[in-house]
Amino acid sequence: HGNLYAGGGSNAKIMKFDNGGNSTTVFESQDMTAQALVFDKSDNLYVATAPDGKVYKVTPAGQKSVFFDPKTKYIWDLALGPDGTLFVATGDPGKIFAVDPSGNSQLFYNAEETHVRTLVLDGKGNLLAGTEPNGLVLRISLGAESTASQSAKTPAARQPSGKRAASQAAAQTAAKKEDSSDEGGRPAYVVYETSKKEVTALALDPSGNLYVAAIGEKRPGPPQPPVQQAEQENAPNGQTITVTVGAPGGLQQPQQATPFVPFPALSSAAVYRIAPDGSPEEIWTSRENSVYAMGISPEGKLLLGTGNQGAIMQLERDRVFSRLAKAESQQVTSFVRASNGKIYVATANPGKVFTLGPELESEGTFESEPFDARIFSRWGRLTWWGENGTGSVVELYVRAGNTSDPGKNWSHWAGPYRDPKGQEVECPPARFVQWKAILHGGSNPPNLSWVEMAYLPKNVAPQIGSVVMQNPGVRVSGFGQQAGPPQAAPVQLRMPAAPGTQGGAAQRGSESPRFEPPPQGFAQKGYQAVLWSAEDSNDDELTYSVFYRGENEKDWKLLKDKLEQKFYSWDTNSLPDGAYYLKIAASDGKSNPPNEALTAERASERFVVDNTPPAITDIASEPAPGAAGDPAVTVRFRASDSASSIVRAQYSLDAGDWTIVPPVGGLSDSPAEQYSVTLRGITPGEHTVSVRVYDQFENESAAKVTFIVPAAKR
């Protein structure tokens, strides 16, 4: 009759709005909220309340009575069959009841789920239902006995097991099996098992596609490809214009306190499309929004009512949605389309009713998300592309600030800018920027496709995270390149820490950092290698120079410049033995004018160059006390090095195997060590003992001593 009915809480209430926007309360109870409502062909209104609620019947004369009490915790949804049977979806436990026009009730289906959340009739003699916690979409045939009185004559059938199969095929197989259980109602077919926990809404389009909205993680699953988010707001009939949703003109808003509507915590959501042949496809996912309602626009496009930002989304093409409008509430909970094409939108927190189309707004506004330049920046030319129809105008405005949340602490909106070919913006330098488009409609609607703004970040000096000297005798090369002799043994390198991980507060310079394969290390005597980490907040291309200085020197000398990789190794035979330091200098000169280029420097830890072998002195042999017939000889020697410690010594008797000789002090920790080894059981005659010593850099020296062991006297 041209009236709009809207239900909510608290207490549970149904409001009627006439064509003039005047409201009247037609139902009220002490229950917390009115969860669902439906009219029959005789204009009787059925209202489901929750929690611990009932189904009430309100006649056209306004008489209210309890029509059905399922004695369940929740009543989630109502659906009216073609013969007047009222289907009631409940939660805790999850069941569907059938109630005939006379009020006779019968269990229609036991889902063996905690909740049956939503119902829809497919127009083919089937009732579709969505469940929780297994996220099932069920199809139950109405058959020839859809009324409760008729279905009482039909034996019930077994329902799908509460222990759901891990796959869709297994779930369907379980659902199709039937027996003569008395508690199940009738058989059901699992149309689809979603990867989510709760099916919140179902919708059918004119082509017979079934759309399924589901939220909550049921179990870990493979990552889904991202859904492209359109960067414009689309109105009906192809017009690209923002609709700032508010109270429709002339429609009186209920002034009562906004009811509390319990919504689950924000979780990941997905929307699936099930084709008429039964094949499913995921068409939308989000980690920021939950879907509470779905509808079909006059153009046949899918509408999503989301939370917790009150956005209304519209499917433009496969996996591409646009934000059609944003309500002034946290959740969009229901869509109803009138015969004239106008869509009524119900929301919660606060509870309101809005209209959406089909007429076009004369003016629309779109505000972009704030853009983070990551660095204090100057703003340049603003360009955009679109189409201005006859009498229509597109105006752009820009503002900037240094906080991520735009507000009163930002600059004022600068503009309007009307030339799509580009105009210089008059915004102060800042880190964040935001643009706003105001579209003024004419006889032909305006269109805005994209907006682009040039900006120049303030140049920031590079950052060097750490400089790591490798162990002596290591040469490095790029990934996949051989360094040193063909048979050089690989060496595991010590990698530097990234900038900002050692007490700094640096940010990543690039949103998509360049992949840099790690270098490879190889053993090669005499080489010294250094690795470093560096980055640039402007994402500038960096070049590096390596300098060195001796321990007692003041000036840095250039060792190598124009390096593009973050590692270097060189043959230290070009340097005298001694202690040194390296300095790494990073420059962004390749990406900036000479007068704006900046550098950063960082020195290494102390390292030692030692290419000189240790010296062996005072080598001598002498007889040692021993038992009769068992001659013994003691060999003594001294080893010393000018730059590093002696790490080991060995001896060999008459070109035999090498044997370790411990220092006299027992520990090799000094540049000079004394050694003594006593040899027993030596045969008479001439013998040669060879000794060799190594310093910390594997430099080696050798020496020998020859002695004669006299024959035993008879």
The pLDDT, as a whole number, for residue 255 is: 34
Which pLDDT band, with edges at 50, 70 and 90, does 483 fall under? low
The pLDDT, as a whole number, for residue 245 is: 30
More confident residue, 94 or 287: 94
Structure-block tokens of residue 184: 């199940």
Burial tier of 498 (Cβ tally within 10 Å: 0-12, 13-18, 19+): middle
- DSSP assignment, residue 595? T
| Phi-psi group of 654: left, alpha or beta (phi > 0 → left; psi -120 to 50 → alpha; rest → beta) | left
Contact 382, 453 (CB under 8 A): yes
Phi, psi of 150 (to 5 degrees): -75, -40
Residue 444 has pLDDT above 60, yes or no: yes
For residues 348 and 365, give the distance between their C-alpha atoms in angstroms, rounded to a whole number: 23
The pLDDT, as a whole number, for residue 186 is: 78
**Bond prior to 93 in cis (omega within 30° of 0):** yes
Residue 623 has pLDDT above 70, yes or no: yes
Which pLDDT band, with edges at 50, 70 and 90, does 487 fall under? confident
Q: Where is average pLDDT lowest: 332-341, 475-484, 506-515? A: 506-515
Q: Angle CA(627)–CA(628)–CA(633) in degrees, nearest 5?
A: 60
Structure-block tokens of residue 621: 């042999």
Domains and CATH numbers, the chain: 203-357 (no CATH), 363-457 (no CATH), 463-609 (2.60.40.10), 615-709 (2.60.40.650)
For residues 476 and 483, give the distance between their C-alpha atoms in angstroms, rounded to a whole number: 6
The residue with tokens 């409008």 is: 325
Whether the predicted model's global pTM rises above the 0.75 cut: no
- DSSP assignment, residue 447? E
Between strands 474-477 and 520-523, the pairing is antiparallel
More confident residue, 431 or 22: 431
Contact 558, 545 (CB under 8 A): yes
Between strands 685-695 and 646-653, the pairing is antiparallel
Residue 222 has pLDDT above 50, yes or no: no
Structure-block tokens of residue 319: 């996996």
Local structure of 540: helix, strand or coil: coil
For residues 278 and 596, give the distance between their C-alpha atoms in angstroms, rounded to a whole number: 63
Which pLDDT band, with edges at 50, 70 and 90, does 103 fall under? very high
